[in-house]
């Protein structure tokens, strides 16, 4: 009998999650199977279940801030062991060989596979973290440092990464001023990164955080934020 993973999927634009089982892709030589213990909720998950970005491939299991333990690994996976605590973000595959991958831009790989609402191929759909297990290429799986709890690690795998990368790329540090526009799921993490990097941080948001710039007269600005 074909192996099955079990999760909660949206079946239509209503976005109501109901139990759903699916056949996972075969475990290839460089793949890792993760038994999921934790999964964050990202705005993209909520958009996806309601076809907010584009028509979703229903039934769709979302969740792309995933932490769990390695339960199986392919024969060519050397840097992970069974039982290791690991995380997976928005991508479960990049080829590792194309110009983009070699330049370190795996997210631009033309053959990438996203964690949710995507297909490995015509036969196997990629389903996300509101499930018991997931399979991913080992180059899309990350060790979680023991200092971070699983629940705290989850949002860092999408919201955290999204805000950390531009700060790192622009070499934010002491003596620099950084403005964070919009203090929501991503913005509150950006404030903390930038403050830890030593910058003078200004948070720019609205009274109700509605992301509606028409009421910018109600902008609230917090300066010189310090996080410990
Ligand atoms: Zn996300
Ligand atoms: Zn590639």
Residue 173 pLDDT more than 70? Answer: yes
Helix (H) and strand (E) counts in the chain: 5, 14
Residue 212 pLDDT more than 60? Answer: no
Nearest ligand to the C-alpha of residue 88? Answer: 1
Q: What is the pLDDT of residues 135-161, one digit of tens each?
A: 999 999 999 999 999 999 999 999 999
What is the pLDDT confidence band of residue 218, given thresholds at 50, 70 and 90? very low
Q: Sheet of 31-39: strands edge to edge?
A: 133-137, 31-39, 66-73, 85-88, 141-143
Percentage with pLDDT > 90 across the chain: 85
Calculate how far, in angstroms, residue 78's C-alpha sits from the geometric centre of ligand 2: 20
CA distance 225 to 192: 9
User: In the prediction, which pLDDT does 217 show?
Assistant: 38
Calculate how far, in angstroms, residue 170's C-alpha sits from the geometric centre of ligand 2: 24
User: In the prediction, which pLDDT does 50 show?
Assistant: 95
Q: Which helix (H) or strand (E) holds 83?
A: none
Burial of 14 (0-12, 13-18, 19+ CB in 10 A): exposed
């Amino acid at each position: 009998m074909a192996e099955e993973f079990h999760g909660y999927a949206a079946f239509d634009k209503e976005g109501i999650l109901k139990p759903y089982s699916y056949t996972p892709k075969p475990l290839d030589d460089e793949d890792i199977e993760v038994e999921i213990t934790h999964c964050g909720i990202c705005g993209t998950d909520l958009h996806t279940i309601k076809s907010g970005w584009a028509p979703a491939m229903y039934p769709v299991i979302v969740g792309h801030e995933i932490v769990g333990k390695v339960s199986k690994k392919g024969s060519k996976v050397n840097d992970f062991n069974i039982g290791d605590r690991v995380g997976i973000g928005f991508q479960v595959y990049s080829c590792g060989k194309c110009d983009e991958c070699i330049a370190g831009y795996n997210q631009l790989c033309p053959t990438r596979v996203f964690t949710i609402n995507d297909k490995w191929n015509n036969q196997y759909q990629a389903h996300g973290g509101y499930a018991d297990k997931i399979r991913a290429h080992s180059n899309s799986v990350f060790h979680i440092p023991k200092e971070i709890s699983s629940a705290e690690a989850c949002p860092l795998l999408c919201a955290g990464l999204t805000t950390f990368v531009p700060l790192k790329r622009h070499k934010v540090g002491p003596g620099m001023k950084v403005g964070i526009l919009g203090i929501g799921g991503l913005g509150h993490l950006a404030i903390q990164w930038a403050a830890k990097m030593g910058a003078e941080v200004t948070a720019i948001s609205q009274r109700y955080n509605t992301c509606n710039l028409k009421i910018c007269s109600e902008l609230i600005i917090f300066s010189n934020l310090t996080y410990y």
